[in-house]
Structure 1
Amino acid sequence: MGKLTTHVLDTANGRPGAGIKVELFALAGDTRRALKTTRTNHDGRCDEPLLEGDALVAGEYELVFGAGDYFASLGTKLPEPRFVDRVVLRFGVADANAHYHVPLLVSPFSYSTYRGS
């Protein structure tokens, strides 16, 4: 059974990104459909998969992370406008029976991702 998961690591402070808003969208051409909104837990992970089973289908998706609001909530001095604010990750799911883990490593001035396990 396939599933989609994520987690966030705060590389500026060396800890999980707790309490970050995560939005998930399905993409089809120019259409963007909201699927789920959640927040990361104390470990920087979501409490349950974003999608799993029949809900995960092959196609294109977008994750949007509220990184700027997270760093502001910590009292981090940020420029205005913020250099990194809403991090948008677009990715494809080719095999709906596989586990797609899409982590975010983020700081106020950079971010990266990869397909994890």
Structure 2
Amino acid sequence: MGLSTHVLDTMHGTPAAGMAVELHTVRGGAATLVKKLVLNADGRNPDGPLYDTASLRAGTYRLVFEVAAYFRGKGVELPDPPFLDRVTLDFGIAHTGQHYHVPLLVSPWSYSTYRGS
């Protein structure tokens, strides 16, 4: 299954439909943009996995979630600067034959992530 993500808006109790996300590879501290996407109605990549199993390589990856822009788009009044603007998650993939699922539970003031299934 490769690499996937899913974002839930804990303020509204819904998937984070419309949130912009970036995927990067990270080598030697330098990040290279792989793709930009906008989450679908279920809070997932509309094209399926970010990487399929055959394309996934061991290494460090970065997901960047545009949290403040998403909540502003929902009409939430945020301070300037917002408490959370962009949430950046760096994570490692060691076993390319396994599924790596990176969910994000987020509000304008907090977030949580874990390795899902």
The TM-score, its normalising length taken from structure 1, stands at 0.96
**Partner residue in 2 for 1:36:** 35
**Partner residue in 1 for 2:66:** 66
Unaligned runs of 5+ in 1: none
How many angstroms apart in 1 are the aligned matches of 2:74 and 2:96?
A: 37
**Partner residue in 1 for 2:22:** 23
What is the percent sequence identity of the aligned residues? 53
Pairwise CA distance, 1:36? 1.1
How many angstroms apart in 1 are the aligned matches of 2:95 and 2:51?
A: 13
Specify the SS of the correspondent of 1:68. helix
> How many equivalent pairs are there?
116
Structure 2 letter corresponding to 1:27: V
Is 1:96 the equivalent of 2:96? Answer: yes
The TM-score, its normalising length taken from structure 2, stands at 0.96
> Conserved in 1, the CA contact under 8 Å of 2:3 and 2:53?
no
Unaligned runs of 5+ in 2: none
Write out the 4+ residue segments of structure 1 that deviate beyond 2 Å after TM superposition: none
How many angstroms apart in 1 are the aligned matches of 2:8 and 2:58?
A: 27
Equivalences for 1:8-19 in 2 at 5 Å?
Answer: 8-19=7-18
Specify the SS of the correspondent of 1:55. coil
